Structure 1
Amino acid sequence: MNNLLIEHFQMLARYNALANSRVYDACAKLSDTERKKTRQAFFKSIHGTLNHIMVGDRIWMTRFEGGKIQSTGLDAILYEDFEELSTARISEDARIEAFASDLTEEFLAGNLQYRNSQGLIYIDPVSLLLAHFFNHQTHHRGQIHDMLTQTDIAPPVLDMHRVIRPNPEESLK
């Protein structure tokens, strides 16, 4: 394994924070009622899905940092208040970026044992689980993006190459 995989996960951590910022900025324009409106989605609403991403992130980060946590309550509402959820999201994204900045080849080459929401114990490669971690966030942000299309607020651009680009206005023209 080489530093390219580490750099890739660091890029994904940066993208995660930037994409979350865009999603939260769009969601902040909605009323609380609109954010919590029941929709055709796994976690029933924009607010529920934002909370689910936070639940997932905290479960996986605890595992990655060596803690033990069972993935129960995947539909938990950790924060009823959107402002509190938004503040927690910023902190969690900083935690993720700090974690990614300290990744080592040894850690990525290892395995992680964990207990899932059904109580089953698994041992999987860290590199696979870290890829899943970032994919999970993207998957559910996509659902929020879709739910935003059902409102009067335009969903943000979340294409990675546009979000990550150092100068978003830069093009070859």
Structure 2
Amino acid sequence: MLRQHFQMLARYNTLANRRLYEVCAQLSDAERKSIRPAFFKSIHGTLNHIMVGDRIWMTRFEGGNIASTGLNAILYEDFDQLWEARVLEDQRIETFISTLTDEFFSRTIEYRNNQGNIHADPANLLLAHFFNHQTHHRGQIHDLLTQTEIAPPVLDMHRILRP
């Protein structure tokens, strides 16, 4: 049951990101990078932060070791390159989730956070956090879009996944 639930979240993540990027593409580069009251300073900065977080967690889920430093890094200055990377990362996430076994859900993942502290948490908890983190920051971008001339997209899960 957990695998099916997380597969649904992975699919939602892909579709929600697609909708969000389609709307953000309607903004000028200057508008996307305009400094606003947000953790990561702009729509562009927040889109990059989601990518940073995704790559950190995916590396950990896949057995790699990576610290969560540089959470405000701008991985891609160019929006089109960021969008292309987002599409590839979402494919990576969906593929990974589709291969999960019961063994993965019973694992504990040890990692070093951005304060340098070492934690060991259940994989299923961290996977839930992973998807919640994306939703949290998409919500911030949704709010930042209300400060522009472009209407934010509908991101409700039941509306996006509705057949």
Aligned length: 163
Q: For residue 119 of structure 2, what is the aligned residue in structure 1?
A: 122
Q: For residue 78 of structure 1, what is the aligned residue in structure 2?
A: 75
Q: Report the 3-state secondary structure (helix = DSSP H, G, I; strand = E; otherwise coil) of the residue aligned with 1:58.
A: helix
Q: TM-score, normalised by structure 2?
A: 0.99
Is 2:151 aligned against 1:154? Answer: yes
Q: For residue 24 of structure 1, what is the aligned residue in structure 2?
A: 21
Letter in 1 for 2:135: T
- Cα distance in 1 for partners of 2:67, 2:132 equals 20
CA offsets 1:32-58 (integer angstroms, 9 cap, x no match): 000000001000000000000000000
Q: TM-score, normalised by structure 1?
A: 0.94
The structure with the largest alpha-carbon Rg is 1
Residue 163 of structure 1 deviates from its aligned partner by 0.4
Letter in 1 for 2:33: K
Instruction: Give the percent of matched residue pairs that are identical in Structure 1 and Structure 2.
Output: 74
Letter in 1 for 2:143: D
Q: Please identify runs of 4+ aligned residues in structure 1 that moved more than 3 A.
A: none
Is 2:95 aligned against 1:98? Answer: yes
Residue 105 of structure 1 deviates from its aligned partner by 0.9
Structure 2 gaps of 5+ residues are none
Is 2:104 aligned against 1:138? Answer: no
Residue 109 of structure 1 deviates from its aligned partner by 1.1
Q: Report the 3-state secondary structure (helix = DSSP H, G, I; strand = E; otherwise coil) of the residue aligned with 2:121.
A: strand
